[in-house]
Structure 1
Amino acid sequence: MGGSSLKWSIMIMFIFLFSNPINGRFSTQIDKATLDQICVQTKDEIFCDSVLGSDPRTRTADMKGMALIAISLSIIQINEVTTLIPELLSGTTDPVAKQRLQTCNSDYEAALVKFQEAYRSAGAASYSDVINSARDGVDKTTQCENRYKTSPVGSSPLSQRNQNMINLSEIISIIVKMIQGS
């Protein structure tokens, strides 16, 4: 993803963030107990509490807003990775590493499209579409991670970020299930 594409994606994300009401106009605002109720259901409660608890938007969000926040955090993570990959590419001469990173970049670009779809779906309260788009998006980042598990097996420089995407997708799923009353 080129620099102008990245800037465009970030600008669109912020337009969506600030044009969608996430400040308590849909239902009650999130309190610490509700945040804990979300995070205790995750595999990484510390990660969940860290990313949601430290986001200032959480304090004024309702559950729909929480879904939008979690999706926007995923989009931010994706944009960080697509900015990092060119730096990683310039720091290696290994052709296998370069090929994997280039393919991971494509995976993350595809994931961005899916999480943008998830964001639009959440704004429209189409929660089954949110789940499907987020799942499809995280599948792309998982493909990136899995590339390093094939011969020759290597250590992915994106492993932590790939795991963050899995964690964020799980948070999105939990919030959507809570919205739907499941």
Structure 2
Amino acid sequence: MKMMKVMMLIVMMMMVSEGSIIEPTCKETPDFSLCVSLLNSDPRGSSADTSGLALILIDKIKGLATKTLNEINGLYKKRPELKRALDECSRRYKTILNADVPEAIEAISKGVPKFGEDGVIDAGVEASVCQGGFNGRSPLTSLTKSMQKISNVTRAIVRMLL
């Protein structure tokens, strides 16, 4: 067990010495484990700067929004009684994909992180509004909570650029 801890420490030190800023950056977010997991799952993470990490997480927001929108589309057939709430969620997740994500990517890429933060915050708000439309019985709860968590982590990293 002690040897395992030593090995983990060596690996972590090697990562830091190779220039990875994932762990120190993720320590400044509200969910260290989620942050590290998301950034380590992308090959760009190990060599990215803070802006690059933010862009990776914005890509994760985009991927989750796409997945959620696909789930919504499937639910129309399975749960027609939820049409009104699903319509609202569909609009919300299309906003994430068509407005929030592009705004955030453009802002971070152009060095204007404040507008990137706005897009990231809005993604979390859109997910929250979607969730609320089901009056406590949402079939999308795990996806909307994931969007809120990823948005919060991303926002913390974008704020480091301000």
Query: Counterpart of 1:16?
Result: none
CA deviation profile, 1:92-140 (whole Å, cap 9, x unmatched): 23x2x22211210111111221121111111111101011121122211
1:116 paired to 2:99: no
Normalized per residue, the structure richer in helix is 2
How many angstroms apart in 2 are the aligned matches of 1:103 and 1:62?
A: 36
Say whether the 8 Å CA contact 2:35–2:153 is kept in structure 1.
yes
TM-score of the superposed pair, with normalisation by structure 1: 0.72
How many angstroms apart in 2 are the aligned matches of 1:43 and 1:123?
A: 24
1:170 paired to 2:155: no
SS in 2 for 1:179: coil
How many angstroms apart in 2 are the aligned matches of 1:119 and 1:41?
A: 21
TM-score of the superposed pair, with normalisation by structure 2: 0.80
Provide the aligned C-alpha RMSD in A: 1.7
1:72: Cα distance to partner? 1.1
Query: Counterpart of 1:77?
Result: 64
1:103 paired to 2:88: yes
How many angstroms apart in 2 are the aligned matches of 1:172 and 1:54?
A: 15
1:30: Cα distance to partner? 5.2
How many angstroms apart in 1 are the aligned matches of 2:157 and 2:31?
A: 15
- Structure 1: 5+ residue stretches without partners: 1-28
How many angstroms apart in 2 are the aligned matches of 1:114 and 1:177?
A: 16
Distance 1:121 1:92, change over 3 A: same
The structure with the larger Rg is 2
1:28-177 to 2 correspondences below 5 Å:
31=20, 34-93=21-80, 95=81, 97-112=82-97, 113-149=99-135, 153-154=136-137, 156-177=138-159
1:60: Cα distance to partner? 2.1
How many angstroms apart in 2 are the aligned matches of 1:73 and 1:30?
A: 22
- Structure 2: 5+ residue stretches without partners: 1-17
Distance 1:175 1:42, change over 3 A: closer
How many angstroms apart in 2 are the aligned matches of 1:78 and 1:64?
A: 21
CA deviation profile, 1:64-115 (whole Å, cap 9, x unmatched): 111111111111111111112111111123x2x2221121011111122112
How many angstroms apart in 2 are the aligned matches of 1:110 and 1:179?
A: 24
How many angstroms apart in 2 are the aligned matches of 1:160 and 1:139?
A: 15
Say whether the 8 Å CA contact 1:138–1:166 is kept in structure 2.
yes
Q: Which amino acid aligns with 1:36?
A: E
How many angstroms apart in 1 are the aligned matches of 2:19 and 2:67?
A: 27
Show structure 1 runs of 4+ deviating over 6 A.
Answer: none
SS in 2 for 1:56: coil
Q: How many residues were matched structurally? A: 144
Q: Which amino acid aligns with 1:90?
A: K
Identity of aligned residues (%): 25
